[in-house]
Amino acid sequence: MSTIVRPDSLGGALAALAEGARPRAGGVEQAAPGAVVDLTGVADLRGIGPNADGTVRIGAMTTVAALAGLDSHPALALTAGALGTPQIRGTATVGGNLLQRTRCAYLRSPVFSCARSGGMGCPSREGDHLHGVVFDSGVCAAPHPSSLAVALLAHDARVEVVGPSGARTLPIADLYDAVDPVRDHRLSPDEILVAVTLPAGIPGDRVAHRRAAGRSRAEWPLVEAVVRLSPNPDGTVERAAVAVGAVARVPLRLPEVETALVGAVPGAPPGPEVDAALAEVVARCSPLPGSRYKVELVRATLTDVIGRALSP
């Protein structure tokens, strides 16, 4: 049985974490035995609001459903609206989605042991890794499952973290660890992800999102991609952000594709430099035997979102 602590302030939540309790928010994931900090009563963790400098702050306890109406940052809104089911979007929180545990049957089963559960190795590598990584770092074979992290990468978001030593902010990419097989993120057990901050939205951004999955509803993505194209005054692409998920231990930006898209003309087909950049991405892939099919799925998904972002 779990002992549940229900603080009404951030300080109370940090005090409970310091005593070894674990945070829970929307309650989508199953709680493990032991003390649990229920964050639902901490009002400071909720809500979406503009800052004086034009940035947008999103509390970590804000639901995924609330993001689907965020018109100022359409890539994030599209991604949030496609996540799970209406019931999940109405319950799951931003912080919970960013910090969720890896999807792996071996990790969650008491029958198997791996580096993530205190043992050694990765039984998925010799077993079922159909949903595994395509960019293999040689450690855990399970890709990071957060959809919101992919969109937040494309929006250059930062996260605010609070712990015993105070607050710190870091780029969303630095929240994750591609090397350590034990960690889904870099937060220490006594820290709380408080909020996400988005740069001011850019009017005229062209965006597209694609969640390639085995079925159209309520399924984990096999490959996920977000494209955000910011315009020059003449309408050509001044800056591109391209992010992919469900393919590596961490969500990834694809700089070669971003560079190739600069100068692209909306309404016209992507140029040969984009095809060359996609070929570079494919060449960088190092799939496991069971996830080789994902390599072509990465190319096809990226081709689709780029085409839709550039469409008239």
What pLDDT is stored for residue 286 in this prediction? 96
Identify whether the C-beta of residue 151 lies closer than 8 Å to the C-beta of residue 209. yes
Mean pLDDT of 151-173: 95
pTM: 0.93
pLDDT tens sequence across 232-291: 999 999 999 999 999 999 999 999 999 999 999 999 999 999 999 999 999 999 999 999
Q: Percentage of the chain surpassing pLDDT 90?
A: 70
Catalogue the long-range contacts made by 59-62 (C-beta closer than 8 Å, 24 or more residues apart).
59/94, 59/194, 59/195, 60/25, 60/93, 60/94, 60/95, 60/98, 60/192, 60/193, 60/194, 60/195, 60/196, 61/25, 61/93, 61/94, 61/95, 62/93, 62/94
Mean pLDDT of 57-86: 95
What pLDDT is stored for residue 30 in this prediction? 59
pLDDT tens sequence across 205-234: 999 999 998 876 667 899 999 999 999 999
What pLDDT is stored for residue 189 in this prediction? 87
What pLDDT is stored for residue 252 in this prediction? 97
What pLDDT is stored for residue 76 in this prediction? 97
DSSP-derived 3-state class of residue 69 = coil
pLDDT tens sequence across 2-52: 688 888 888 888 888 888 778 877 665 555 667 888 888 888 899 999 999
Backbone angles phi, psi at 261, to 5 degrees: -85, -15
Q: Map out the domains of the chain with their CATH numbers.
A: 4-101+144-198 (3.30.465.10), 206-309 (3.30.390.50)
Q: Percentage of the chain surpassing pLDDT 70?
A: 96
What pLDDT is stored for residue 157 in this prediction? 98
Task: Give the chain's mean pLDDT.
Answer: 91
- Residue 117: pLDDT over 90: no
